[in-house]
Amino acid sequence: MDESLSTPRHPAEIWAARQWQSAMEPSLARFVKDEALRGELLQRIYLEARLANLPPEMVLAVIQVESAFRADAVSSAGAVGLMQIMPFWIRELGLPADDLMDPWRNLRYGTTILAHYLAVERGDFTRALARYNGSLGQTWYPERVMRAWQRHWRPPTGGDRVTVQR
């Protein structure tokens, strides 16, 4: 397992992750039928999003729009996997042996790329999402992701949400 995902965490963070996973599981069930895979996918999405300092719900929305949670998806432009990563990113971020069809590697690339664009755009989600999609200057893609985020992946509401400082 990736060392960054296996490091001990604060109990409040573990509790928050479990609460989030329970809240997101019913929405993901329509895309991922296998319960064990669904649980592992949610855990990985949460951890990778937190590692990249992204809202995990936004990562879910991007995956929904990009691949409908199909790890084997390949676009007509050549984008691959859950988060539809273009192969040129291997030269930029990784190693020649990296397999973008591996859903966990794909998540790492996707969240890293999205976090990079969010930093470039100084926190502007619309512009960061447009860059991620290669459609900067247009809003159709960010609007699709934001719509998916609002409709399917809203975080639990109420005072029971825990924020852990790192």
Q: Kindly list the catalytic residues.
A: 66
CA-wise closest residue to 44 among 128, 127, 103, 123:
103
Under DSSP, the state recorded for 16 is: H
Sequence-separated (6 or more) residues with CB below 8 Å from residue 56: 20, 24, 45, 46, 49, 50
Instruction: State how far the Cα of 150 lies from the Cα of 97, in Å rounded to an integer.
Output: 37
Q: Which residues pair with 27 in a beta bridge?
A: none
3-state helix, strand, coil in the chain (%, to 5): 60, 0, 40
Report yes or no: 136 and 127 within 8 Å, Cβ to Cβ.
Answer: yes
Strand, coil or helix: 137? coil
- Tell me the C-alpha distance between 85 and 94, whole Å: 12
